[in-house]
Amino acid sequence: MINRLLVTGCGGFVGGGIVHETPRGVELHAVARKEPPECGGAAAWHMLDLRDRDGVRELFETVSPDAVIHAAAIADIDFCEANKETAWAVNVSVTQQLADLCREHGTRLVYVSTDNVFDGKRGAYREEDAPTPINYYAETKAAGERVVAGMGRNYVVARTSVVMGFPMLGSGNSFLMRMVSLLREGKRVGVPENEIRSPIDVVTLARSLLELAGSRCEGYIHLAGNDWLNRYEMVRRIARELGFSEGLIYPNNPETIPGRAPRPLDVSLCNQKARECLRTPMKNLQDGLRLVLKTARPSHL
């Protein structure tokens, strides 16, 4: 059980989910670059650019957390490809400082990584498979993984897949919210049919990360759903479940978009370790979506 938790990236989709799901009794310190949303809850919010090394150290030493969940990152693949210096500074250098502080103070670190560290040539990746990134975003996340693993102990690298859900705090970057907005207007939604993922809902992901922060599990773990689906079939199923016409979903080939960084094709993740080590159950797409709908605000639906 953790008493004091520091979470980065709380202005984002996953970080907001963690704040929302943090149980009462945990002293939560939420770090973000922007002001907290009105529904920010009981968390103590800290507005801070994590590239401010002195500010990060001061905050860490003031809060003295039992555990850190590091969810902050620049996850826009094309932005990272075009802005490599910024991507490295946020995704690697910030991670290095947090890992150093955690090691120095004996603090547990849970690092949120991505399925994109793999090249997607075969799928069904397990924790022991070596990263083989094919875009710069993935390079920075793989480098972040190495930094965290360099702690030697008291760390978790949690690789996750496509995260499904609505923002539980603020706006966040949710593909589901963007999709519903388009479908409401009767607009068609183009989705790649050659990219295979193992989607996880944001509620299950947040609960899993919180459980990891308070557990003794160490090393790498894959937090992913039980279904392996191409994006086209995934979105068709979601549209059907939400009562929209599947006819509005069509397959497209985003590789023709100018300036688009390469994406791995099949980065499905084996979640056997998570199913064996965690009390939080991994879910299939349908059950995960239904859990998401229970937490959705009326404006999302």
Regions of the chain where pLDDT drops below 50: none
**The predicted structure's pLDDT at residue 38:** 63
Give the whole-angstrom CA distance, residue 289 versus residue 238: 8
How far is the CA of 88 from the CAs of 66, 96, 112, 235, in angstroms? 27, 11, 16, 32
Which tokens sit at 165? 């859900």
Which tokens sit at 111? 């690092």
**Domain boundaries of the chain, sorted by first residue:** 4-173+199-228+268-283
Exposed, middle or buried by CB within 10 Å (0-12, 13-18, 19+), for 141? buried
**Structural class in CATH, domain 4-173+199-228+268-283:** alpha beta
Give the whole-angstrom CA distance, residue 42 versus residue 24: 9
Among 69, 90, 83, which Cα is nearest to 18's?
69
Strands 196-197 and 229-230: antiparallel
Give the whole-angstrom CA distance, residue 297 versus residue 62: 34
**The predicted structure's pLDDT at residue 1:** 72
Give the whole-angstrom CA distance, residue 123 versus residue 116: 11
